[in-house]
Amino acid sequence: MSLSKTVFTTDDLLEILRLTYQEKRSSRYIGEMYGVGKSTIGNFLRKETYKEFWESQEDKPLVAGEVACPTTKRKMLQGNKFVFTSAQNNTYVHDNFLKSLLHYCEEEDAELIVGTFHYNKSGFQNGNSEETWFDPKIREYILDESCIIADKLLWCGELNILPTAVNPLSGLHNYTNKDSAIVPHAKLQLESLPTPKHEPAKLMYTTGCVTQRNYIDMKSGQKASHHHVFSALVVEIDDDGDWFVRQLCAESDTGNFYDLGWYYTPEGKDEVQHTIEAINWGDIHAAKIDNVVAEVSWGDSPESMINYLAPEHVFLHDVFDHKNRNHHNIRDPYFLFKMYVDKTESVKEEVEQTAEVISSMLDKCPNVVVVESNHDLALERWLKEQDYKKDPVNAVFFLEMQLQNYYAMEEGRKLRTFETACHLVDDRTKEAIFLTTDESYKICGNIECGSHGHVGNNGGKGSVRAYQMQGGKFNTGHTHSCSIKDGVWTAGVSGLLDMGYNNGGSSWSNSHIVTYTNGKRAIITIKNGKWKARN
């Protein structure tokens, strides 16, 4: 068959249908067989050409079926850097955003891949039809099939999820078994799902969209339009096979976006790297810190996150652990004996260790903000509930702290127990900003960074849902499981992934939130001592 062939016989067309629907071959694969572009195959399958053939098939019944599991047909993508986004049928692209993405792909030697979804504004049937089309500017990038991106990471381009879905990842938690996955959808979401304890958490991502808002003016469509995000995900794979995913969130009006401080526009990439607004570290837990995570995050190396990104702010959640005398195990004789054997009974020494972590960041960032968290507050609970006479190791520090609190109450000052403790052991910590519960600290105008996540609404317990209901944008911590749900972004943990009490499956990950100066955000997850690909 001639490679220049562009007109198909009826047998050719039937074979294309068989390859597509029975063997689940991609348009790219079939195009290579016939020596044509994948868009030609796509046009045929979308019935935009060969109308006479399709009309001749109308009265013929379609019979199909297969035995093989879809997982056996996944192909492996070739390359080490990809950009994934999604597109809606019968909708024009956001031109400037697409141009910015194409410049990014050219600059970073990445492949752009677009997954599609269908939404019919005129009715309830949202599948393919003769009137279905996709913007010609993205047709060559469409890949609507399941693929392996890297070990334990899949592209679910075969999924066609309505853009009006409130929780597009609902029901997909076991769809990819234990593999992480990227799902094309107009919303930008991230869920961290539990896996067996000593395996990496399963991360399920949605992409956001490259096409414009195009919805029915009814409740479901209006909600979808509100949550429609112009964004993509970049995936980079290093020579060790480790993969890293980041969000590329565009400015709606310009289509410009940041990635690690570099700014991409329809005209290209800025020549100068920008500083970023903030990093929200995953919960720190200094007494249970993962030293490798600490080093690549805020260590002295020029390639650590804090030095490479040069943030204006860093936010510390649960920086204190209160491991040595926590109320959860204060009555556990085995635990107390273990603390005695390990010589880790001193609360003051743990405060000193924690203050050292805070001080280590002060030379590297102009604004170090300690967000009051439930573990920080455990120090105050210890003073309220325990008896220094039964704890000689901690008696002097206990009484020093107790006296400071009583002075504060006598003078009508609000208790700042953990801050007071840090100042008592390390004067340098006075340069840091210590927040109290419910104290607001906003960046970029409207992103609230003063909430740890442990306090919910009306005095209830905190949850991502509780913050979603408040309607604003939040950078939080507390759960140790990174997530993105609408405007609420949650970091993971900087401490150990096994802290002794998180038994069973775990959704914890060493993940941080990066906020750029335009208010757009990305979540970065550390793997094997790396926060980005190292080739």
pLDDT above 50 for 3? no
**Helix (H) / strand (E) containing 400:** helix 395-410
269 Cβ neighbours under 8 A, 6+ residues apart:
103, 104, 107, 262, 263
pLDDT for the residue numbered 509: 96
pLDDT above 50 for 4? no
What would the 3-class secondary structure string for 204-266 be? EEECEECECCCCCCCHHHHHHHHHCCEEEEEEEECCCCCEEEEEEEECCCCCCEEECCEEEEC
Cα(184)–Cα(258) distance, rounded to whole angstroms?
A: 21
Query: How many percent of the chain have pLDDT more than 70?
Result: 92
**Helix (H) / strand (E) containing 384:** helix 374-385
Q: What is the pLDDT of residues 295-328, one digit of tens each?
A: 999 999 999 999 999 999 999 999 999 888 877 7
Q: Using an 8 Å Cβ cutoff, are 227 and 269 in contact?
A: no
pLDDT for the residue numbered 355: 97
pLDDT for the residue numbered 476: 97
Q: Stretch 490-508: mean pLDDT, rounded? A: 92
Q: What is the pLDDT of residues 322-376, one digit of tens each?
A: 888 877 777 778 888 887 888 888 999 999 999 999 999 999 999 999 999 999 9
Cα(207)–Cα(251) distance, rounded to whole angstroms?
A: 15
- Both tokens assigned to 183: 């799902």
Least confident of 63-72, 262-271, 273-282, 473-482: 63-72
pLDDT for the residue numbered 304: 96
Q: What is the CA radius of gyration of the chain?
A: 27
- Both tokens assigned to 77: 């993508």
Closest CA to 94 of 248, 276, 244: 248
Mean pLDDT rounded to a whole number for the chain = 90
Cα(493)–Cα(51) distance, rounded to whole angstroms?
A: 56
Torsion angle, CA of 478/481/483/487, rounded to 10 degrees?
0
3-state secondary structure of 147: strand
57 Cβ neighbours under 8 A, 6+ residues apart:
none
For helices 395-410 and 417-425, the axis angle rounded to 10 degrees is 120
Identify the band that residue 180 occupies on the pLDDT scale cut at 50, 70 and 90.
very high
3-state secondary structure of 423: helix
Closest CA to 132 of 112, 115, 116, 113: 116
3-state secondary structure of 196: coil
Q: Stretch 512-522: mean pLDDT, rounded? A: 97
Least confident of 1-10, 22-31, 285-294, 325-334: 1-10
pLDDT for the residue numbered 328: 73
Cα(423)–Cα(48) distance, rounded to whole angstroms?
A: 71
3-state secondary structure of 528: coil
Residue type, 500: G
The region, left, alpha or beta by phi > 0 then psi within -120 to 50, assigned to residue 208 is: left
Q: Stretch 397-405: mean pLDDT, rounded? A: 96
pLDDT above 50 for 124? no
Cα(484)–Cα(323) distance, rounded to whole angstroms?
A: 29
Query: How many percent of the chain have pLDDT more than 90?
Result: 73
Cα(498)–Cα(60) distance, rounded to whole angstroms?
A: 60
Encode burial over 456-488: b for 16+ CB neighbours within 10 A, e otherwise: beeeeebbbebbeeeeebbbbbbbbbbbbbbbb
Cα(255)–Cα(191) distance, rounded to whole angstroms?
A: 26
pLDDT above 60 for 1? no
Q: What is the pLDDT of residues 461-472, one digit of tens each?
A: 989 899 989 999
Domain boundaries, the chain: 10-57, 71-269, 278-475
- Both tokens assigned to 331: 């009555």
3-state secondary structure of 283: strand
- Both tokens assigned to 223: 């909600």
Cα(320)–Cα(373) distance, rounded to whole angstroms?
A: 9
Alpha carbon 373 to chain centroid distance? 22
